[in-house]
Structure formats: structure tokens, C-alpha cells
Amino acid sequence: MTGAATAASRPAQLRFFNTLTRVVEEFQPVVPGQVTMYTCGPTVWNYAHIGNFRTFLFEDLLRRWLRARGLRVYQIMNLTDVDDRIIREAGAHGVSIRQLTDPFAAAFHEDRRWLRIEDAEAYPRATECIPSMVELVQGLLASGAAYRGEDGSVYFAIDRFPAYGQLSQLDRRELKTGASGRVSSDEYDKENARDFVLWKAVKPEDEAVGAAWDAPFGRGRPGWHLECSAMALSLLAAQGLGAVLDIHAGGVDLIFPHHEDEIAQSCAYTGEATFARYWLHGEFLNVRGTKMSKRFGNITTPRDLREDGVDPGALRLLMFQAHYRQQVDLTDEGLQAAREGSRRLGEFSLRMSQTAAGTADWDGWARQLQDRVHGALDGDLNAPQAIAAVFEAAREGNRRLDAGTAASGRALEAWRWTMGIFDLLPAAMDLQVVAERSPAPALSGTAAEPPTEPPAELAHAEEWARSWARVRLAAKGRRDFQEADRIRDLLARAGWEVRDNKDGSMEVRRA
């Protein structure tokens, strides 16, 4: 029985803190065995910063744990590629919104893959889902939940939705509503709830950058809040997964107004009592004690850290050593400690993988590791508690190996299962462990190594290149430099470049 199967076979006691109810609740998906999850993605007007990725990493751990529990996950992560900031930036640079956002969308995926964040099932872009947004606005106008303002824009009337404020727990007696309380910008001040814009009447600056579309209620563009509801509902419908999400996740800064407005417009449109049954929100990442912001000049991106030689395994470890509902501080000292911790785990992994098949004496070690990780992550994704169990297991495992007791197959399986959830190993060690334990999976051809020619599809071609990079790293590890050079040339002919870093890791990118 595999580690994942062992976890999935245990009694369902998965619990999360639900922002909607402010209590830790047992998680029960609408459809047994199937989880639908929407996670708010980046606004691609610039590079996503590491604070954004703190949220995306928490969501990655959530996704991995749901899957380890045997649940099928259908995750949607949107890319906002039209809003006020994007239009301003595109206008300032004299380009279309597509020309502005395409490079940043590609950079987001590059950074995401570097941080080993698993692929979602869908990455809809707002500009590619305009028909769904128009349909949603039409439905809200027909029901009376929305109205057209004097400026030609369409607004949601919050006084016609009695449940408004349920997520952020605003006092409805203090809400400003009506024509004097409308807001047409994509963002507004916390706790200043007013009728929010669904569809913005076209302006010359919108037309100038290609941010305008025809609609029965007037040419214009969607408001920020509308986009997520429309993309989520249309994709759920296309998959036959209903109109209610199991989980909606994001950063705490999105609770109001963004997620509050999503609930209002979605429920008013579908007639459902809720838009998502469980709302999970991650806390901020600070830089040396200060919230990351342009005002403080402390914006840090994954590519900044990458250029500074920070390892993705170390960064993942740093993030998971704090609970997702607690703030975490990014410091040089914290990064160095996480790098050392990741290195120790990598060395233990190598020792485990190099031992011959041992006895069943290790089976209790394996069982305890999985039980402790399972119990911690089932309890509102308590990663710090699980990480503590991982390091304790590594210390005990090293003592056993020092004593000459080889790890059993069950122990190796439990360790691989754990690393598959957290993905904490240093880049060089991680590639070497993968290469030594099992050859890179081939997309076609033999199982021993990838095919010589890359697949036509870009996503598969990138995995093909990474697979060859793993084989090359293994060749360098056994000092077969002729084979390593052959693989480098093979990749180069296919348009891929391999760079060797000082820390022993490698980067694979398009040449």
C-alpha cells in the first residue's frame, strides 16, 4: 500500500478554519471524493512579488494535501489581465493591454514553476471570458440586483442583497448605498461598502489600449470583482460541477471588498445560498518586519531571490514553518536557516536512497512520520507542526543509519510521500535524488530516458527539457562529463539552455 493510499484510507477528519463562520470546521465536499477550488491569481500588470507567492504556496500545500488524502481536485486560478492599473500602464507605455500583460503572465508561470507550485486545472484570463461576464451582468440586471447608472456603467445594488457583509462581517447599518454611494474604481477603502461596479462604460483610454467590448447594456469592460465570479461559474458549469465551490482561497486582503462582492453577485445570479462553502485566507508576508509594499520600497520578487541564489526548497521551507494564518517575516537570517534545514533534509534523503533494503525495524518510524504529518495537516493545514515532525524523523533516521541499520522499503515510501507533499529538498539534491531513484519519466520511447526529440506542445517540451536536465545532472554526479556535454548539446539544438549555478543546482530555460 502506498503512502498516499494509506493517508486516503484513514477516517475523514480534515478540518479548516472557515472565514465565513470564523470557526474550524470539518471539511465535507459537495460531491464525495471531488473538490472544486478557486484561488485568486495575480494581476499581470507587473511581476508577482514574493508576498503574492506566499499565498500561492499555501494554496499549493492545500492542493497537495487534498490530493494526498485521495480527493480529486479541480482548481481554477485566474489571471486578471484587465483592470485600472493595467489600462494606466498600457496607456503610459503606448501598448495594448495584451502586449503589456503577456510577458508578465509568462513570468508568473515561470516563477510558479521555479517555486514548484503544481499546475492548476485551469488558468482563465479575464479577457478570454468576456461572454460569460456579459451573461452574468444580464442576469443581474434582469433580476433587479443590478442597475445602470447615469454614467452608463452597471452597478450591483448591495441593499437588494440582504446577506451582504457576511464574509467580512460588516455592520449593515453602516453601509452606504444608492446613487450617492457608488464606486466605479476596481478597489475601494476597507469598510466603506457601496454599490460596486460590474461593468464600466467605455472611456477613450480603454479604447486606446484594447480594453473595451460590446455588450447589450453598453460598450465597456468588466469590473474587477465581476471577473472572478464569471470565470468560476462558467468553468464549473462546463465541467458539470454545479454552481457552488467547495473552497475559495486567497490572501486576507481580498476578504473585503473583493470576496464579499464575489459572494453577492454570484449568489444573486445563481440563487444559491453561498458561492463557496469554505473560505480560506492566508496572512501577509513581511520583509524584515514591514509589510511588503511600494510605499516602503521593499518589493521582492521570486526572480530577485533566484538571482541572489536562494533555493526554492529553502523558500518553501521558510513559508511552511509558519501557519498560513500567521504572518511570516522574510529576513536574511530566516532564509539562511531555511537553506540549512533544506540541505539537511536533502542529505538525509540521499542517505535513505543509497541504503540497501532494510528490515521491518523501520516500519514503526515510517508509520509515526505519516501519522504525525497526517494529523497536523488535517488540523487546519498545520504545516509548522508537520515540519517539526519531519525534522524529528530525519534526526531519528540519521541515528538509525549511523548505527548501520538500513531503511526499509516502507520507510523510503513514507519519506518520499512526505517530500511529495512539502517539496523541500534543495534543487541540486532534489534533481539528483529523482535521477538516482527512478529515471525521468519518458513522454514516449523507453522508460530509461526521455525521447531524443521534444514534444510539439510547449508544456510537454519544458518537462522534456527538465527530464533531460535531471539525466545530465546524474551524469555529472558520476563524472561522466562527455555524456553531460552531449545532453547539453541535445537541449541546445532543441532551443533549450542549461545553466549550472554555483550552488550545484541547474536552470533550464528557453534559449
- Check whether 118 has a pLDDT greater than 90: yes
Average pLDDT over residues 230-255: 97
Confidence band (pLDDT; 50, 70, 90) for 409? confident
In this model, does residue 434 exceed pLDDT 50?
A: no
End-to-end CA distance of the chain: 43
Q: Is the pLDDT of residue 445 over 50?
A: no
pLDDT at 439: 31
For residues 35-62, average pLDDT: 96
Binned at pLDDT 50, 70 and 90, residue 479 comes out as low
CA dihedral sign of residues 417, 284, 338, 307: positive
Q: State which H helix or E strand residue 128 sits in.
A: none
Q: Write the pLDDT tens digit of every residue in 80-102.
A: 999 999 999 999 999 999 999 99
**Cα 415 from Cα 3, distance rounded (Å):** 9
**Which grid cell is 191?**
469598510
pLDDT at 506 over 80: no
Strands 496-500 vs 506-510: parallel, antiparallel or unpaired: antiparallel
Whether the per-residue pLDDT at 37 is higher than 90: the answer is: yes
Name the helix (H) or strand (E) containing 328. Answer: strand 328-330
**Full set of structural domains in the chain with CATH:** 3-291 (3.40.50.620), 309-430 (1.10.730.10), 439-511 (no CATH)
Residue scoring higher pLDDT (173 or 356): 356
Residue 25 sits at φ, ψ, to 5 deg, of -120, 150
In the sheet that holds 34-39, the strands lie side by side as 72-77, 34-39, 245-251, 276-282
Confidence band, pLDDT 50/70/90 cuts, at residue 26: very high
Cα–Cα separations (whole angstroms), residue 244 to 263, 399, 502: 10, 50, 49
pLDDT attached to residue 480:
74
Distance of alpha carbon 149 from alpha carbon 195, whole angstroms: 10
Mean pLDDT of the chain: 86
In degrees to the nearest 10, what's the CA dihedral of 263, 264, 268, 270? -10
d(Cα 151, Cα 255) in Å, to the nearest integer?
28
* pLDDT bucket at 492, cuts 50 / 70 / 90: confident
8 Å CB contact between 77 and 39 = yes
Tell me: pLDDT of 447 over 60. no
Q: Which of 18-27, 199-208, 430-439 is least confident?
A: 430-439
pLDDT bucket at 424, cuts 50 / 70 / 90 = very high
The model's confidence at residue 474, banded by pLDDT at 50, 70 and 90, is: low
Residue 336 CA: distances (Å) to CA of 306, 367, 372, 475: 14, 31, 26, 29
Residue 34 has a pLDDT of 96
Q: What is the pTM of this model?
A: 0.81
